[in-house]
Amino acid sequence: MRILSLAGRRLAASIPTLLLILIGIFLLLQFAPGDTVDAMMAQMGGGDAATARELRKFYGLDLSIPLQLGNYLWRLVRFDLGFSSIYGKPVATVILERLPPTLLLMTASLSFAFFAGLVLGVIAARGVNKWPDTLISTLGLIFYATPSFWFGLMAIVVFSVYLQWLPAGGFEDIGAAATGLARTLDIASHLVLPTLTLGLIFLAIYLRIMRASMLEVLNLDFVRTARAKGLDETRIVVRHVLRNALLPMVTLIGLQAGTMLGGSVVVESVFSLPGLGRLAYESVVQRDLNTLLGIVFVSALLVIAVNFLVDLLYARLDPRITAGT
Amino acid sequence: MDAVKRYFRSPAAVVGLLLLLAVIAMAISAGWLYPRDPLSLAGRPLIWPFSNPRFLLGTDNSGRDIAAQIFHGARIALLIGGAATVIAVVIGVLIGAFAGYFGGWVDTVLMRITEAFQILPNFVLLLVLVAVFGSTLTTVTIAVGIVSWPAPARLTRAEFLSLRNREFVQAGRTLGMKDLQLILGEILPNALPPVIVYASVVMAVAILLESALAFLRLSDPNVASWGNLIGLGRDVLRVQWYVAAIPGIAILLTVLAVSLVGQGLNDALNPRLKGR
């Protein structure tokens, strides 16, 4: 249980940081031209100043900024993210509706990038400086330099327009209204291209780290011992090297969680997935600042949660971490 | 000079340098080769590449010359990428230097702020900044710089932590040098090389961030940015896919060039770490 308390302490340490983010973003949004009421009035097709004043009073926008900030933080504690005038629903509801596609996309991309990166990294490290290594490393460099939205568009041209293998966008076929397995397959087929698109850059990063980490561990003494014992190469790699080489990879998951969320904004826009990222984009375009603030809060929570899980996983992979402190 | 020799021994680094020089040449020559405004109408819309000698790379949906936009786009990419990198590195170095040098509560406070920036997905923060301050060339560049500084800050802090108690710093302290003198004059020059190398990563990411923003039509619409052109090409993607394809290749090659040069510099300056 030591590990839990260790990870718990790290979790507690992130609370002040979260507070800092919220205050910073709240103050930042005070600079934004126009507030929620302005956006609502525009939606209603204009209105007189008295109505605007009424509305501002109703939403507490006529108070001083420190008071508004206090109100906002107090509402957050109760997980009340405010009301989105654009969607006509509480922000928390809007975000919860949009969360599943994003979580699904992120999990799928992460798994794809992690395992493909692992396998390619191991292959490259096993034949270091031979042609498979050169090929894989070059591909990694090119993937890293590819803008994800562009790769997504080109994938649509090839796989949806010319080959017509996969759908070009959306989360599921509205007409199909299928249930159970059929629906799962339908969603899966919609997620293939977005997963590849989002995962590509991370694949490049993972394979590079895996290759470097494998090369480092392969030179350690215990590997020489294992070889001296007469173990065959596959066994050495799988049982002895891999577990130790995995540590930097796991660290990377935590570091990249935020980048991945940011990337899903673009990817969800390319494939018109109804996810959190697309919601972020829409709320910027529609000046729905309440929703935008809510998304910032939820994505910060997500990143903190991922890092908590990574801490737990890390200690399982390397028992020395819990033994040390 | 050893480092220069080592740099040119790596074929990848040489390819990267050539590519980067090509992009820079494009940016410089854009004014002579395509003196007209790249966003002005030039001919019939949607001419395929290589079908009309007047428009080597064809025209986009509204009849603007794609080649002209690519050449002028090189300027924008290098300008935004370069300026944003300078901003990110300057902020990062200052914060990292103070945190690493002073330690204690200064370090705690500054690192909390850095963490806050790292927890927030940088593209989401970029969206917020653009939503608040608008999307002119200047604000987008500054915004990209603001979301990119935490990594250089952490790197600088680590360097300062390892350098601040070395003998040459202690010698300086004994001579009665002020903190600021020690930070800027003594430690910084020694801490800078890895940060400068890392700047290539920052620049690659900055170019990608701006192009993604432009693709979503949230960047400055009045400049010939490659991302803008891809966003435009998306409308005619099904048949005239070349409109989106060409600027994407330009972005890919530029980012590739910057990262190859960065890696080449890293290997040349730290030969023991080669291959990492």
Of B116, B124, B208, the CB nearest to A24: B116
Interatomic CA distance for residues B169 and B179, integer angstroms: 10
Q: Which of residues 51-110 of B touch A (CB under 8 A)?
A: none
A280 touches B at CB < 8 Å? yes
Cβ <8 Å between B128 and A28: yes
How high is the pLDDT of residue B275? 45
Is the pTM value of this prediction over 0.80?
A: yes
B211 touches A at CB < 8 Å? yes
Are B251 and A147 contacting, i.e. CB atoms less than 8 angstroms apart?
yes
Q: Which of B155, B19, B152 is nearest to B77 (CA)?
A: B19
Contact residues, chain A, for B12 at CB < 8 Å: 141
Q: How many Å separate Cα A128 from the centre of its chain?
A: 32
Q: How far is B172 from chain A (nearest CA, A)?
A: 36
Cβ <8 Å between A150 and B252: yes
Contact residues, chain A, for B129 at CB < 8 Å: 28
Interatomic CA distance for residues A265 and B35, integer angstroms: 36
Cβ <8 Å between B113 and A153: no
How high is the pLDDT of residue B276? 43
How high is the pLDDT of residue B251? 93
Tokens linked to A248:
């930097």
The nearest alpha carbon in chain B to A292 belongs to B128
Q: How far is B43 from chain A (nearest CA, A)?
A: 26
The nearest alpha carbon in chain B to A257 belongs to B121
Instruction: Count CB atoms within 10 A of the CB of residue B194.
Output: 16
**How many pairs of residues across A and B have Cβ atoms under 8 Å apart?**
147
Q: How far is B255 from chain A (nearest CA, A)?
A: 5
Q: Which amino acid is at A39?
A: A
Are A290 and A84 contacting, i.e. CB atoms less than 8 angstroms apart?
yes
Cβ <8 Å between A20 and B116: yes
Q: How far is A205 from chain B (nearest CA, A)?
A: 12
Are B248 and A153 contacting, i.e. CB atoms less than 8 angstroms apart?
yes
Cβ <8 Å between A150 and B248: yes
Of B119, B252, B255, the CB nearest to A300: B119
pLDDT of chain A, 325 residues: tens digit per residue: 667 777 778 788 788 888 888 888 888 877 776 666 676 676 666 667 777 777 777 766 777 778 888 887 888 777 777 777 778 788 888 888 888 889 999 999 999 999 999 999 888 888 777 888 888 888 888 998 899 999 999 988 888 888 878 777 777 776 656 677 777 777 778 888 899 999 988 899 898 888 888 888 888 888 888 888 888 888 888 888 888 888 888 888 887 888 888 888 899 988 888 888 889 888 888 877 778 888 888 888 888 888 888 888 877 777 776 654 4
How high is the pLDDT of residue B92? 94
Interatomic CA distance for residues B11 and B8, integer angstroms: 7
Write out pLDDT tens, residues A47-61: 677 777 777 777 667
A294 touches B at CB < 8 Å? no
Strand partners, B59: B65
Q: How many Å separate Cα A237 from the centre of its chain?
A: 30
Strand partners, A89: A84
How high is the pLDDT of residue A40? 67
Burial of A318 (0-12, 13-18, 19+ CB in 10 A): middle
Contact residues, chain B, for A251 at CB < 8 Å: none
Strand partners, A90: A83
Q: Which of residues 242-261 of A touch B (CB under 8 A)?
A: 258-261
Instruction: Count CB atoms within 10 A of the CB of residue A177.
Output: 9
How many CA within 13 A on the CB side of residue B173?
11
Q: How far is B96 from chain A (nearest CA, A)?
A: 18
Cβ <8 Å between B204 and A31: no
Q: Which of residues 89-128 of A touch B (CB under 8 A)?
A: 128
Contact residues, chain B, for A258 at CB < 8 Å: 118-122
Interatomic CA distance for residues A322 and B20, integer angstroms: 47
Give the ipTM of the model, two decimals please: 0.86
Are A183 and A176 contacting, i.e. CB atoms less than 8 angstroms apart?
yes
Of A33, A149, A299, the CB nearest to B212: A149
A36 touches B at CB < 8 Å? no
* CA dist B226 → A150, A165, B32, B123 (Å): 11, 29, 19, 18
Strand, helix or coil for residue A149:
helix
pLDDT of chain B, 276 residues: tens digit per residue: 677 888 888 888 899 999 999 999 988 888 888 787 777 776 777 677 777 777 777 777 777 888 888 889 899 999 999 999 999 999 999 999 999 998 889 998 999 899 888 888 888 899 888 888 888 889 999 999 999 999 899 999 988 888 888 888 889 889 988 888 888 888 888 888 888 888 998 999 999 999 999 998 888 888 888 988 888 888 888 778 888 888 999 999 999 999 999 888 888 877 665 444
Interatomic CA distance for residues A307 and A301, integer angstroms: 10
Beta strands in B59-118 (DSSP E): none
Strand partners, B55: B52
Q: What DSSP string runs through B131-162?
A: HHH---HHHHHHHHHHHH-HHHHHHHHHHHHH
Cβ <8 Å between B119 and A258: yes
Of B132, B212, B233, the CB nearest to A29: B132
Tokens linked to A230:
């007469």
Write out pLDDT tens, residues A262-306: 888 899 988 888 888 889 888 888 877 778 888 888 888 888 888
Q: Which of residues 194-233 of A touch B (CB under 8 A)?
A: 212, 215
